[in-house]
Chain A
Amino acid sequence: MKTTINVNGAARSLDLDPRTTLLDALREHLKLTGSKKGCDHGQCGACTVLVNGVRINSCLSLAVMHDGDAVTTIEGVGTPEHLHPIQTAFLTHDAYQCGYCTPGQICSTIGMLSELAAGTPSQETPPGATPVLSDAEIRERMSGNICRCSAYPQIVAAIKEVAA
């Protein structure tokens, strides 16, 4: 099935079996292997990408449903020469060990900070209040990204530095 998705600023035309997830389209068809397949069931967050600026689990979405959408993967966030400030903060704070969850953590952080700026509540937000970036808010809002190496304290520190 013919599908065109704007990936990291470039229109990419694909001919896909409808079963192809957005994650598999990125990794297997476009060879953008930065987005990782952890659980493949929306439980770990390693596949997190931004679709039209909103973070989603790319493993739980069909690529053919994203015709015309703008997708940003970790490859579109920064380059080794020009790191995104969140990538720099993750390096500074050693916010990983094996690094497998890191692309998802960073894409998720970008989406999370946009949600916070828009006033989207979490279960840590008091009723009716505008959310503020406390440690509890960061942990709750990043709870869809699992880190098997448990670098959570460093991830929280990195996000706090970027958001400050």
Chain B
Amino acid sequence: MKAFTYERAADAQAAVTSAVSTPGARFIAGGTNLLDLMKLEIETPAHLIDVSRLDLATIEATADGGLRIGAAASNSAVAADPQVRARYPVLSEAIVAGGSPQLRNKASVGGNLLQRTRCAYFYDTTKPCNKRAPGTGCSALAGLNRNAAIFGATDHCIATHTSDMAVALTALGANVETLMPSGQARTLSMLVLHRLPGETPNIETCLEPGELITTVVLPPPPPGGQIYRKVRDRASYAGGLASVAVAGGRVALGMVAHKPWRALALEAALVAGASPAEAIARELDGASPLGRNDFKLPLVARLSVAAITEANGRGA
């Protein structure tokens, strides 16, 4: 691990001020992804700003019937929260589908959103990777790309976003509140927080330097059933091959793109009266598989049909 300096931020404003004024600074909360990557020297921050003890771990109802979740809340705390389990079951189900209990006890909500891809070439520092070393090329294009994106990828990067929680938040129409170094707060939709790779896959979100995620805000639960379904190579404790989150009429797909993939074509088809099978077929019209990941098309189709059908049953 490269050497770094460490500070514990006194408050959120101190954290963002330090982050924007200290070269190579990164926030750390749970650290379960960042420290893993630092040991491999994929991440080499010069300075860590500890935000884990900021007063940002509260989960509380909002006046309009939604829920505010502090960005420093642990993944376990969110999954176990009675309000989350009762009113946003897709979120609880998504969180417990990811990682191990030990990781979920430590990982924060903000860190989960900002976790890096698990693409094998991102992890292999001996190989080109535009996300890790911009301009070096994408080794996955002609390499081991069985788990690569089928939506929105470019020749610069075909990696996927691997968060389960973020897929559920996308289906729930969540917003993310941030604090900017200027002291100004802003609100970002989950639809815009993460970026597609384009020509700069190293830039993964629309967050500005030093900007800190402080809260995730859920609107009131949509009418209808909710469910999270995930397929992976092992029964537990493995990254996903594909996932589906359903929240009423909204559907998001996981591990199929550089960001949580809101299935807008699918949703529009459902509204127009299509069956779940017809609706996911419309969404997959826009897919671009690469060969080794062709299997994701029937997988996502069957998974989506099963999840939408089961969610409809739960919502009835």
Contact = CB atoms under 8 A, between A and B. Distances in A.
B6 A41 contact: no
Contact of A60 (B36, B48, B314): B36
Contacts of B48: 18, 62
Contacts of B36: 41-42, 60
Interface stretch (B89-97, B143-151, B213-221): B89-97
A127 B89 contact: yes
Contacts of A60: 31-32, 35-36, 103, 106
B18 interface: no
A121 B79 contact: yes
B112 interface: no
Interface of A: 1, 17-19, 21, 40-42, 45, 48, 54-57, 60-62, 64-65, 67, 108, 111-112, 115, 118-123, 125, 127-128, 139-141, 143-144
Given A123-B97, A140-B236, A61 B1 contact: no
B35 A21 contact: yes
Contacts of A144: 99-103, 237
Given A55-B101, A144-B99, 14 more contacts: A18-B4, A19-B4, A41-B39, A42-B103, A65-B28, A108-B101, A112-B101, A123-B93, A125-B96, A127-B93, A127-B314, A139-B236, A141-B101, A143-B237
Nearest to A17: B3
B106 A56 contact: yes
A116 to B, nearest CB: 10
B85 A128 contact: yes
B80 interface: yes
Given A60-B36, A119-B80, A122-B96, A128 B86 contact: yes
10 interchain residue pairs of minimum CB distance: A144-B100, A18-B6, A143-B236, A120-B80, A143-B237, A144-B102, A56-B106, A123-B96, A57-B102, A19-B1
A89 to B, nearest CB: 20
B80 A121 contact: yes
5 contacts: A55-B105, A62-B31, A111-B105, A122-B101, A123-B236
A140 B79 CA distance: 15
B314 A120 contact: no
A18 B85 contact: no
A57 B39 contact: no
B43 to A, nearest CB: 13
Contacts of A48: 102
Given A56-B102, A57-B102, A127-B89, A118 B80 contact: yes
Contact of A143 (B50, B100, B105): B100
A121 B5 CA distance: 37
B32 A42 contact: yes
Contacts of A42: 32, 36, 100, 102-103
A57 B97 contact: no
Contact of A61 (B3, B35, B93, B99): B35
Contacts of B105: 54-56, 111
Nearest to A120: B80
A19 B244 CA distance: 38
Contacts of A123: 93, 96-97, 236
B76 interface: yes
Interface in B88-136: 89, 92-93, 96-97, 99-103, 105-106
A42 B237 CA distance: 11
Interface in B1-17: 1, 3-6, 8
B80 A40 contact: no
B106 to A, nearest CB: 5
Contacts of A57: 32, 100, 102-103, 106
Interface in B56-99: 76, 79-80, 85-86, 89, 92-93, 96-97, 99
Contacts of A61: 31, 35, 106
B139 interface: no
Contact of A40 (B4, B28, B39, B50): B39
Contacts of B39: 40-41
A61 B8 CA distance: 14
B304 interface: no
A108 B103 CA distance: 12
Interface string B204-244: 00000000000000000000000000000000110000000
